[in-house]
Amino acid sequence: MRTVGIILLSVFFLAGSCEDFPGVKETIHIQNQTNHSIESSVALRNGPYYPDTSLVTIVNGSMQNTPPGRNAYFDYHGRGSIAERLEVSPLGLVSIYIFHPDTLAEYSDQEIIDDYKVLVRYDLTLSDLETLDFFVPYPPSEAMNGMRIYMP
């Protein structure tokens, strides 16, 4: 009986704590619609979110390898929301980078940065992400007409 009381007390304590520290989990999905793998990353977690100077953070950080026909998932955990993060970012944009895995294997991080060896960079607003329902395709779809897409 004493054990049950301790468990119930712990559950009530933890439930109260969750209300005090609400967490938000939102996801940006990168859809690989090619016949080869891609590597991608979203400059959202620690900033800078935009402009392309965030490439240094991306290349030196972690990326997700995504086989053809699959999705990469970039979860944002924290207080607030993606919308709130974009409100404080320069121009209200988030940069999303797509790389070919062979490029990452063949070139040094510095060469990728200096020569801007990316397949594509999307600079998207919250409205753009909402239009795409947070599912960002590669290659760009017709739904992305008018969005900021840079293909060097």
**pLDDT tens per residue, range 12-35:** 444 444 444 445 568 999 999 999
User: Residue 125: CA atoms inside 13 Å, Cβ hemisphere, count?
Assistant: 9
For residue 119, how many other CB atoms are within 10 A of its CB?
17
9 vs 116, more confident: 116
Amino acid 128: pLDDT: 97
Amino acid 87: pLDDT: 83
**pTM value?**
0.78
Amino acid 11: pLDDT: 44
For residue 66, list its beta bridge partners. 38
Mean pLDDT of 131-143: 97
User: Residue 7: CA atoms inside 13 Å, Cβ hemisphere, count?
Assistant: 4
What is the residue type of 124? Answer: L
Domain ranges (residues) in the chain: 22-150
> Going by CATH, does the domain composed of 22-150 fall within 2.60.120?
no
